[in-house]
Amino acid sequence: MTMSTAQPSSTRPVLFIGLGFTALALAFSARAAIGLMMPIWEEQLGWSRSFVSGSVAIALIVMAALAPFAGRLVDRQGARNVMLLGLAILAGGCALIAPLDRLCQSHFPIIAA
């Protein structure tokens, strides 16, 4: 009689690491795209570079302020759940940026993205 023991797949950790890097790449690409979009927003919408840069600076301050709380949330809920929540917020922020045409509408989605 042989006893079979299920061995965890060796590809699973590699898959999770790859998905984590992909998620980070998408998140930072969305933030870097703001720099690429800045001249277009400046020309078509009349927004100044200082306004867009100020919005990005506010986003970085919000990220720094929320980092300890996000870390605690990861400890309590697990990295997978927090990553899914963060990616959903990022996707929502990117979707909200697309139709913007007024200055008063722009701060929240840029901060969320």
* pLDDT (tens digit per residue) in 23-35: 888 778 877 888 8
**pTM for the whole thing?**
0.58
The pLDDT mean for the chain works out to 78
Which of 111, 98, 101, 113 minimizes the C-alpha distance to 54? 111
Buried b (16+ CB within 10 A) or exposed e, 32-66: eebeeebeebeeeeebeeebbeebbeebeeeeeee
Query: Do 102 and 51 form a contact (C-beta atoms < 8 A)?
Result: no
Q: Where are the domains of the chain?
A: 21-112
Query: Do 87 and 27 form a contact (C-beta atoms < 8 A)?
Result: yes
> What confidence category does residue 107 fall into, taking pLDDT thresholds of 50, 70 and 90?
low
Q: Which pLDDT value is given to residue 25? A: 85
Name the burial class of residue 15, with classes exposed (0-12), middle (13-18) and buried (19+) by CB atoms within 10 angstroms of its CB: exposed
Name the burial class of residue 88, with classes exposed (0-12), middle (13-18) and buried (19+) by CB atoms within 10 angstroms of its CB: exposed
Q: Which pLDDT value is given to residue 38? A: 86
Q: Which stretch of DSSP H or E encloses residue 50?
A: helix 49-77
Q: Whole-angstrom distance between the N-terminal and C-terminal Cα of the chain?
A: 58
- pLDDT, tens only, 34-92: 888 888 888 887 888 888 888 888 888 888 898 899 899 999 998 888 888 888 887 88
